[in-house]
Amino acid sequence: LLSVLEDARLDLAELRPFAGGRSMGDTIEFAGESLPVMSGEVDFTGLDAVILCTPPAVSLELIRQALRVEAPCIDCSGALLASPEVPLVIADLGAHDGVSAAPLLASPTGTTLIWGPVLSALQGEAGLVRVVGTVLHSASSAGRAGIESLSEQTLALIGQQERVEDEPLEGPMAFASAPHGRAVGEEKDGAALAEAQLRTSLHRLLGGGVEVVSSSIYVPSFAGQGSALWVETERPLSPGQAASLFAGAPGIDCASDDETANTRDAVGCEDVRVARLRSDSGAEEPGRHLMFWLAADPVRLAALNAVKLLRARFSLG
């Protein structure tokens, strides 16, 4: 987020970085300055905007504190996804009405920022009936702790050391892939938290009439995210027509037939890469069923969307 914010070259009078206790004493570099990371008691007084990238439970408490002093919030944690009174916005899809006056804005989580622009383009052109996908989550989906854990596990296994005893029960594992576990208290359909959040977000963005089913898998890579999607449309749409559609859509880069896309190359990129675009020949109506692969950097996209929402809120162009 700090990197994207610095690249945006906004005229900021003040930047206050906040973090949890483990970051106490840390400093960050921003625009050539070293800024101390604040922790403990949070003071949002006088701030024009607060961007939250914390765990959902922490985010909710910080939002309460910020609203007490009338500091508007852009939440990237996913805590507000199911709150219909809070606008859920992908900046590249437009519809910024009311953004400037809203005390709270919700930015979708990473997978929705990857799927959203692609599915929105398809819906506008051919309508959507059903979306089924598998999401391959890297260690970056678990934050810095996930990356550090995967690195330690990898080095330990290569060095034939004993397995780390306190490694997380759920998360990326070295040289292994595993599905996300069902979240405690989740719906009876057995959805994991990431799967439920994706469905909720896409229903809000695309409409509840679109059926959304997904499976989330942890894979042993450090960054980037890949998704394999099967989409049923209301009206026929050929792969060539879909490719032309994607070529004119913001935030989407469609690979040619002889190109591919991998998650490592997507790290740091600002677009969603679409590849392996083809019809589902096994479907009853192949002309209404598309299959494709998406590769993107969800962390980068989340930061970009937050900064774009900041621009939209203050009409910064």
Here the CATH number for the domain that contains residue 177 is 3.30.360.10
Task: Answer yes or no: do 98 and 171 share one domain.
Answer: no
Task: Answer yes or no: do 38 and 100 share one domain.
Answer: yes
Q: Which of 104-118, 151-165, 204-218 has the lowest mean pLDDT?
A: 151-165
Q: What is the pLDDT of residues 15-62, one digit of tens each?
A: 999 887 666 678 999 988 999 988 777 889 999 999 999 888 889 999
Task: Answer yes or no: do 212 and 239 share one domain.
Answer: yes
Task: Answer yes or no: do 104 and 219 share one domain.
Answer: no
Place of tokens 């060539």: 240
Place of tokens 């020949």: 281
Task: Answer yes or no: do 144 and 238 share one domain.
Answer: yes
Confidence of residue 69 (pLDDT cuts 50, 70, 90): very high
Q: Which CATH number does the domain housing residue 87 bear?
A: 3.40.50.720
User: Phi, psi (5° rounding) for residue 90?
Assistant: -100, 115
Q: What average pLDDT does range 166-194 have in this prediction?
A: 75
Q: What interhelical angle do 239-247 and 110-126 show, nearest 10?
A: 120
Task: Answer yes or no: do 165 and 84 share one domain.
Answer: no
Which of 285, 261, 287, 282 has its CA nearest to residue 273?
A: 261
Domain coverage including residue 73: 2-108+303-313
Contact 251, 117 (CB under 8 A): yes
pLDDT at position 169 is 47
Task: Answer yes or no: do 88 and 175 share one domain.
Answer: no
Question: Is a pLDDT exceeding 70 seen at residue 186?
Answer: no
Residue type, 53: C
Question: Is a pLDDT exceeding 90 seen at residue 189?
Answer: no
SS3 sequence, the chain?
Answer: CHHHHHHHCCCCCCCCCECCHHHCCCEEEECCEEEECECCCCCCCCCCCEEECCCHHHHHHHHHHHHHCCCCEEECCCCCCCCCCCCECCHHHCCCCCCCCCCEEECCCHHHHHHHHHHHHHHHHHCEEEEEEEEEECHHHHHHHHHHHHHHHHHHHHCCCCCCCCCCCCCCECCECEECCECCCCCCCCCEHHHHHHHHHHHHHHCCCCEEEEEEEECCCCCCEEEEEEEEECCCCCHHHHHHHHHCCCCEEECCCCCCCCHHHHCCCCCEEEEEEEECCCCCCHHHEEEEEEEECHHHHHHHHHHHHHHHHCCCC
pLDDT at position 4 is 94
Among residues of the chain, what percentage have pLDDT more than 90? 70
- State how many domains the chain has: 2
Phi/psi class of residue 167: alpha, beta or left (left: φ > 0; alpha: ψ in -120 to 50)?
Answer: beta
Task: Answer yes or no: do 98 and 226 share one domain.
Answer: no
